[in-house]
Amino acid sequence: MDRRSFLLGTSGLAISQMLIGCAGNKQIAFNVKLLKGSIPGHVVNQFRKSLQSELNLKFVPINQIDDLFKQLQTWQQPAANSKEGWRSFIPLSQNQKVSKSDLVTLGDYWLKAAIEQKLIQPLETEQIKQWSALNQKWQQLVKRDEQGNLNPQGQVWAAPYRWGNTVIVYNREKLQKFDWQLKDWDDLWRSELRSRISLLNHPREVIGLVLKKLGKSYNTENLAEITSLETELQTLNEQVKFYDSTTYLEPLILGDTWLAVGWSNDVIPALSRYPKLSAVIPQSGTAIWADLWVRPAGVDKNNLLSEWVNFCWQPKTAKEITILTKTNTPIVTNITASDISEPLQNLLLTNQELFDKSEFILPLSATAIKQYESLFAKMKNPA
């Protein structure tokens, strides 16, 4: 997904590599490739201090999720074909052997493909103490069959450690003259906003928000059953100035648009820099994205994997990840309004009712995906 390819902030590991401990031959090693900015550096230091013995820990931040996915693919290819992809991350000498990481960050949107392509292997939840206490919504997300589809009896393929939403961000100065407040998806259809909106160039997100407005699911399999959907999409298209998944905030900041639908990991940094912007989570519910820990295929069992996941899921650690990376946590913590700046509170203080109404964008059949793509193309280019 385009969203997860964006360059994230520098609130996490800011160096190309973080090595902790001496690299003795007899030491147990634990290698992690993670999304840059998704884990604060001092959290890794605290993890090292919590261990009973001196170990060789190596955490390597990578700028983009799609690069992490490509890395997983590279590890499953013959060595002769892996040279270029691997060296784009870490410079190696000609004689140095390529080794896989024990753990990698992956976005939930990529999970099905990673399982289907046999790039990752299941986790052993018996060693993860907090697993049973995890909200059922999170457990259901990562229980999959061998094709990567949701299955309540499936194996556990990932461990979520932070998440965010699709939100509505708007220029408060432009909307203050109206006698209504922006609260939900149906506000996008207001006549005052005609040609003032930017939407993500993503069929599942756009059609999904319309489905949500109609009281349906983001993951509706057969769109043909919803008779009013095409009309709603055509009307919404008249409100839209442009579709874009990368530069949708710039026109909003400049005043060319008044409102945008975007991802919280893009929107939150903008709220901090531009006081005239505000954001809301639609009251009908929205889409959720998540960053997950996954275990590459072919990697031997490493007890430090479960220790790291357990550490990330401790309420204190989860709270630090939330506050410092400005994302949500799947773990129940004692985060309060005083921990978060006021403009971000409605996005980062979890509203359980809204969370229950919101959904992950889940895998659909090939037939359904074609329906979404066809209808989205027709929406943007009506006859």
53 and 32 in a common domain: yes
254 and 312 in a common domain: no
Does residue 354 lie within any of the structural domains?
A: no
CA of 362: how far to CAs of 78, 182, 241, 247, in Å? 31, 27, 28, 25
The letter for the amino acid at 157 is W
199 and 233 in a common domain: yes
36 and 146 in a common domain: yes
First to last CA, the chain: 28
Cα separation, 24 vs 43, whole angstroms: 23
373 and 256 in a common domain: yes
pLDDT of residue 226: 96
Question: Tens digit of pLDDT for each residue in 58-87?
Answer: 999 999 999 999 999 999 886 444 444 444
216 and 87 in a common domain: no
pLDDT of residue 278: 96
276 and 153 in a common domain: no
pLDDT tier for residue 26 given thresholds of 50, 70 and 90? low
Q: What is the CATH number for 341?
A: 3.40.190.10
Mean pLDDT, to the nearest integer, of 9-31?
Answer: 52
261 and 367 in a common domain: yes
Domain that includes residue 52, residue range: 2-163+289-349
For 293, phi then psi, to 5°, come to -90, 130
340 and 246 in a common domain: no
**Mean predicted lDDT score pLDDT of the chain:** 88
Question: Tens digit of pLDDT for each residue in 219-241?
Answer: 999 999 999 999 999 999 999 99
pTM of the model: 0.86
Q: Which of 4-18, 82-96, 272-286 has the highest mean pLDDT?
A: 272-286
3-state secondary structure 311-353: HHCCHHHHHHHHHHHCCECCCCCCCCHHHCCHHHHHHHCCCHH
Name the burial class of residue 21, with classes exposed (0-12), middle (13-18) and buried (19+) by CB atoms within 10 angstroms of its CB. middle
pLDDT of residue 29: 87
323 and 209 in a common domain: no
133 and 49 in a common domain: yes
Cα separation, 278 vs 302, whole angstroms: 44
Does residue 6 lie within any of the structural domains?
A: yes
